Homo-oligomer: A and B are copies of this chain.
Amino acid sequence: MESFFSLLKRRVDDCSSLLCVGLDPHVADLPEPTAEAALRFCLTLVQQTASYAAAFKPNAAFFEVFGAEGWNALRQVIQAIGEESARTGSRIPVILDAKRGDIASTAAAYAQSAFEMLGADCITLSPYLGQDSLAPFLRNPQKGVFLLCKTSNPGAGDLQDLEIVSGPWADDRQPLYLHVARLAQDWNTRNNLGLVVGATQPAALARVRAAAPNVWILAPGVGAQGGDLSAALQAGLRADGKGLLLPISRGISRAENPARAAAELRDRMLESRNP
């Protein structure tokens, strides 16, 4: 059975791209505030950028805000990505950006919702509740998780930068986010657990990469948030030149020509990767 990150790696190779196209139908970007407009926005973006996308990342919040109709739109977007994959013969993974985090039967219900009901291949989760909160999402190796590790928002430091002096790496006096990175490296026994690390702080990204040399990292922040592409690649790529996925949303969807913007981003990533 192919693991999630084998699937992702194959797609990265197929399209020579580390670009993850974010599908954020923010109401400000829609002609009218409806689920139907959100759906059209995403379907157009998928058509325009599929050739350059190593993965698509729909953001659950921008669908949930339209209630039941938004939920239907989200399912249709994921279905359309599946049809595009079938058409081209190269499967494009779908990462549901949902940042869920709960335990026991509740976590199992979220996993069922994301993977079976909606048909996503992967989901973003929060680490605060610990290992057993991830288990229902990791049980099937074909489905993956990106775990929040180090984010780039102003409040990220409130918890993530706090220095830890207990636990398995007590001697190191390291920030919480590096602790999370090491846990993920240990917990990733089925090649389906990665990390979310902001691309705007290449130094932190490099520390995560050193702490978790094998895991895939989803690194948002290039483009709209000002992250430098080549610095992020240098800091975050694995030794094999893979293991890093760079999600970009508005930098593509708001471009005059989204297809060209995606192609250019793909090319810039390739050049920076192979200087």
Contacts and interface: CB of A to CB of B under 8 A. Distances in A.
A153 B103 contact: yes
Contacts of A180: 159
Q: How many copies make up the complex?
A: 2
A238 interface: no
A130 B102 contact: no
A65 B108 CA distance: 10
B127 A65 contact: no
A59 B165 CA distance: 35
A156 interface: yes
B130 A65 contact: no
B72 A67 contact: yes
A162 B133 contact: no
Interface string A144-166: 00001001011111111111111
A66 to B, nearest CB: 8
Interface residues of A, number: 61
B26 A105 contact: yes
A101 B27 CA distance: 20
A89 interface: no
A132 to B, nearest CB: 4
Contact of A148 (B65, B129, B153, B167): B129
A65 B11 CA distance: 29
30 contacts: A24-B106, A27-B109, A59-B106, A61-B102, A61-B107, A61-B109, A62-B106, A64-B109, A65-B109, A65-B110, A71-B71, A99-B100, A99-B102, A99-B126, A101-B128, A103-B155, A126-B126, A127-B159, A128-B128, A129-B159, A130-B156, A130-B159, A131-B154, A131-B155, A159-B180, A161-B166, A162-B164, A162-B179, A164-B164, A165-B165
Interface of A: 24, 26-27, 59, 61-62, 64-69, 71-72, 75, 97, 99-107, 109-110, 112-113, 117-118, 126-133, 148, 151, 153-167, 173, 176, 179-180, 183
Given A126-B128, A126-B129, 20 more contacts: A61-B102, A61-B113, A64-B117, A67-B117, A68-B71, A99-B126, A100-B100, A101-B101, A101-B128, A101-B148, A126-B126, A128-B148, A129-B148, A130-B153, A132-B154, A158-B183, A162-B176, A163-B164, A163-B165, A176-B176
